[in-house]
Structure 1
Amino acid sequence: MMGGEYVDLHCHSTASDGTLTPAQVLRLAKHSRLSALSLTDHDTVAGIEEASREAAKVGIDFIAGIEISAEYPHPGTMHILGYGIDPNDPSLKSLTETLIAGRDRRNPRIIARLNEMGVHVTMQEWQQEARGGVLGRPQLAAILARKGYVSSIKQAFEKYIGQGAPAYFDKERLTPRQAIERIRAAGGLPVLAHPTQLRVRDFTQIEIEIKKLRDFGLAGVEVIHSDFDQVTVQLLTDLADRLGLLKTGGSDFHGSNKPEIELGVANNRRIPREYFDRLREALEQERRSATAQTTRT
């Protein structure tokens, strides 16, 4: 395929736990010959305005996005991507403030536990690493690696701050239904991110979970991701088609916090432009329907 036929619908910037600014992510997307992108920072839309401006400047189609953490039983995690949300929606702003406040209450507990374990790191160092963005564990992992407590970001999660590790503390989350409803209330379409991270016993259980989410208003499933092999991609693609859900895909790029992941590439796969176009069409249809309903009432 020629350049311009690929996109990335799942990536992060310094507004959350990435290492490139929103503008730098868009410039990298242009350099990588992507034709469209959605910035999906964790629990915040703080980078959307900058990203949107840069997208227009470099000539890349752009959809505003967010990635919201939802409640889910250990050892799994559930993240809901919201596409086409209005970053100025008052309820969305209130939601992101609540989610970030939950992180702010959790993070000092992580630091205190690490200090108890003889790992010398401070909140100030973490804030500096975040460069004004949302504090995320990948930034803390980068500090631990740089200080020599671990050999890699991955080891930092396994040894100290990942689920089940001694310095792990959970944060406050919405229920899956609440996350989906909040995204739709802000004009967006909710999509289940990386379904394999639910860590259920088999693919049949993934299907059951996705059907439950569809009943709550889920609009799509991420079928291409850096975690997925070809078998998983095909299973999720077939499932999305069978359930009438949108298909999306993304690298889950975080910059140097996940150095093995390249923007626009998910485990040696590219994300087709078709996914972006169908997502945009679905958003336009939702807006037309909402306008028609408002006119009738």
Structure 2
Amino acid sequence: MGNKRKEKKSKKHKGKIMGEQGLALSYVHDWVFRNPSDDAAAAADDQGFLPAAARKITDSVVFELHCHSNRSDGFLSPAALVERAHRNGVNVLALTDHDTMAGISEAMQTAQKYGIRIIPGVEISAVCSPRREEAGIGEPVHILAYYGSSGPSRYEDLDNLLSNIRDGRYERAKNMLLKLAKLKVPIKWEHVAKITGEGVAPGRVHIARAMVEAGHVENLREAFNRYLYDGGPAYALGTEPSAEEVLQLIHRTGGISALAHPWALKNPIAVIRSLNAAGLHAMEVYRSDGKASGYGELADTHELIKIGGSDYHGRGGHDESDLGSVRLPLISIYRFLKVARPIWCNATKDILQNFAEDPSHTSLEKIMRFLMPNKFKGFSTANSAKDIVDLCVSSWLSKDEKEENDFDEIRHMLADTFISNCSAQMSLYSSR
């Protein structure tokens, strides 16, 4: 009798898991493989999804949520990074350069050739001080921020923060060179600047490359292990904001926040507890080498979404995880999107409302910054309100999401504004 009950309970539990898996599979596929292009319009159903017969439903949907281009400390251009991701079977790519979103537009443009979705992202340098009584003592942390296709709302606020961090990177790099000189490892600033490239803020990897080229170390790993690791003899802090400030800004600008590589922290339990209290959404727990044991339990304890990524830089070493090598469980992707999509939807609405209040060419350029640039060729503020709104929402939102979030109301606001502008221009012309 007891065995029959256990068997019945086990089947019920298994059925519940299978039901959730099926729901997750459908939800993720609908989002990943929605095609808003004109070519697919005839084949798509009323939600903009390709019909089931036109899609191959499999459990293998590859999300790459952590990688870097040469706009920060990676070796590949954003375009080359997307091309490599395509070769590796990646369906969704988040470009998360350090403290900059300068490569997003190029990545999005290239991704259109391959049918890859780009999640605009950034890895933000911060300092966490979990023990408030120990003023001035903090641990460096990296917070990943993920945004919808329209990018962050209130972009200027985020851009100002990132700009301040990048400015601090120059001072930080010079302090590292001073420390290296005292350690009898001289590196010229001009050498680092040449490696970094124009318009890119210097990071530790650029200094490490200079050390290799100058013959002070054999490889990048030795440079970090001997000199540049967190708290190492040549390590220096920049002008990083507090982690709490970063999390608040990510929330305010319509993003999803995640703690990057918690296994690199000296005091992960205290840091995760502190960040969770400040509103952290997720944390990395999955790695291609499988060495992140214990962090899944920490994430569960604090009810954080479990994600992961390769942290690919393109350095070419055998010890570096390649793009798409971290295969996230379908259920983790589902939970990530379930939290992210309403937030991204609200951010898009906020961006469009701001545009409705100021439908100028400058405002249009802000929208174009992230949204598939080549679709805006020939666009101007004279285009219909419907076209502008549709371009912002078509590739990310379902029919229900569009209807639930009053996008028709924004269309009317924009249409009224355009009519007023046209009337004003006609009056000005007739008075001449």
- Shorter chain as normaliser: what TM range? 0.7 to 0.9
Q: Report if aligned partners of 1:10, 1:39 keep a CA contact under 8 Å in 2.
A: yes
Change over 3 Å in CA distance of 1:113–1:199 after alignment to 2: closer
The residue number in structure 2 matching 1:280 is: 337
Give runs of aligned pairs for residues 58-69 of structure 1, distance below 5 A.
58-69=114-125
Aligned AA (1:98): N
Change over 3 Å in CA distance of 1:250–1:287 after alignment to 2: closer
Deviation (angstroms), 1:149: 0.7
Deviation (angstroms), 1:4: 5.4
Deviations along 1:242-276, one digit per CA (max 9) or x if unpaired, are 5432221101111117652132355xx53346544
Change over 3 Å in CA distance of 1:155–1:91 after alignment to 2: same
Give runs of aligned pairs for residues 236-251 of structure 1, distance below 5 A.
236-251=295-310
The residue number in structure 1 matching 2:229 is: 162
Which residue of 277, 281, 285 corresponds with 1:215? 277
Q: Report if aligned partners of 2:63, 2:91 keep a CA contact under 8 Å in 1.
A: yes
Indicate the structure with greater strand content: 1
Q: Report if aligned partners of 1:8, 1:263 keep a CA contact under 8 Å in 2.
A: no
Distance 1:121 1:246 in 2: 42
Aligned AA (1:229): K
When the two chains are superposed, the root-mean-square deviation of aligned CA atoms in Å is 2.9
Deviation (angstroms), 1:67: 0.8
Aligned AA (1:159): R
The residue number in structure 2 matching 1:18 is: 74
Verify: 1:111 aligned to 2:177, yes or no: yes
Instruction: Give TM-score, length-normalised by structure 2.
Output: 0.60
Kindly name which structure, 1 or 2, has the bigger radius of gyration based on alpha carbons: 2
Verify: 1:34 aligned to 2:90, yes or no: yes
Distance 2:213 2:243 in 1: 36
Distance 2:81 2:271 in 1: 32
Deviations along 1:46-84, one digit per CA (max 9) or x if unpaired, are 111111111222211110111112213679531111011
Deviation (angstroms), 1:191: 0.7
Change over 3 Å in CA distance of 1:179–1:257 after alignment to 2: farther
Q: Which moved more, 1:5-14 or 1:164-173?
A: 164-173
Structure 1 gaps of 5+ residues are none
Aligned AA (2:76): L
Which residue of 29, 48, 61 corresponds with 2:104? 48
Verify: 1:256 aligned to 2:315, yes or no: yes
Q: Report if aligned partners of 1:264, 1:270 keep a CA contact under 8 Å in 2.
A: no
Helix, strand or coil: the match of 2:128?
A: coil
Question: Percent identity of the aligned residues?
Answer: 32
Structure 2 gaps of 5+ residues are 1-57, 130-136, 350-404, 410-432
Helix, strand or coil: the match of 2:328?
A: strand
Higher relative contact order (CA closer than 8 Å, sequence separation 6+): 1
